[in-house]
Amino acid sequence: MDDSDRLGPAGAETLPYPRVLVKVSGEALMGPEAFGLHPPTVSAIARDLAALRERGCEVAVVVGGGNILRGARVAGEDLARATADNMGMLATVMNALALEQAVEKAGVPARSMSAIAMPTVCEPYARQQALRHLRRGRVVVLAGGTGNPYFTTDTGAVLRAAELECDAVLKATNVDGVYSADPKRDPNAVRFARLTHDEALAKDLKVMDAAAFALAREAALSIIVFAVQEPSSITAAAIGEGRATIVEP
């Protein structure tokens, strides 16, 4: 990466991943609620993102919208998949605005950017402008997925991470890593601490959806899978101290 793209505060160079993209699902923002946003949970995630930024890491975030509407779930005979996915992308914008405000309340500047242009609400996504925000110390919250239907927010996260030359994708989930089987269903499931992309493919492990994982492999992006419910889990994963699975080239 060109050094001119790394103008963060002193100390960033000591981090294992100086620039990261965090994938936060819409469901993670629900907390104990069955739908929508749980403000204390949103605030806790925002404080964690702010703490990571204050350590010198440049932070981008891709947020999902499943707490409000998931396109693939509502698509059907009466609602075309493309229309449903567009509705889901709009839901991610609502979440991004909430997370942006919460990060700023935590004391760190933030900017929401949407792949679907709505300039009266937030900035349209543009790579060069996003890089400028990162270099200036702002947490960049990316909404609207890829801007196209039929692509998941996992794919959107890896795409943005590759575009913004991030060092890793931090995938916040409800489990503390990648397992050989669903640990909620199989008590004998084995948790992996580290994997290569090739090993994950050979073992048919569901790290991300196929399109997202193929792009991550092509871009040689490390993927860190961790449980977001743990306090300060995002910062811990980014600095190599948390309980997580690292999938690397």
pLDDT value of residue 70: 76
The pair of three-digit structure tokens given for residue 82, joined into one six-digit string: 């493309």
**Which one, of 140, 141, 159, lies nearest residue 151 by Cα?**
159
Print the domain residue range for 35.
3-248
What is the CB neighbour count within 10 angstroms for residue 73? 10
CA 168/CA 247 separation, integer angstroms: 10
Report the pLDDT value the prediction gives residue 195, as an integer from 0 to 100: 95
Q: Which residues of 224-243 are buried (b: 16+ CB within 10 A; e: fewer)?
A: bbbbbeeeebbbbbbbeebe
Number of domains present in the structure of the chain: 1
Per-residue pLDDT of the chain (249 residues), as tens digits, is 444 445 444 444 489 999 999 999 999 999 999 999 999 999 999 999 999 999 999 999 999 999 998 767 778 778 999 999 999 999 999 999 999 999 999 999 999 999 999 999 999 999 999 999 999 999 999 999 999 999 999 999 999 999 999 999 999 998 999 999 988 899 999 999 999 999 999 999 988 998 999 999 999 999 999 999 888 999 999 999 989 999 999
CATH number, position 89:
3.40.1160.10
pLDDT value of residue 6: 52
Kindly report whether the global pTM for this prediction surpasses the value 0.85. yes
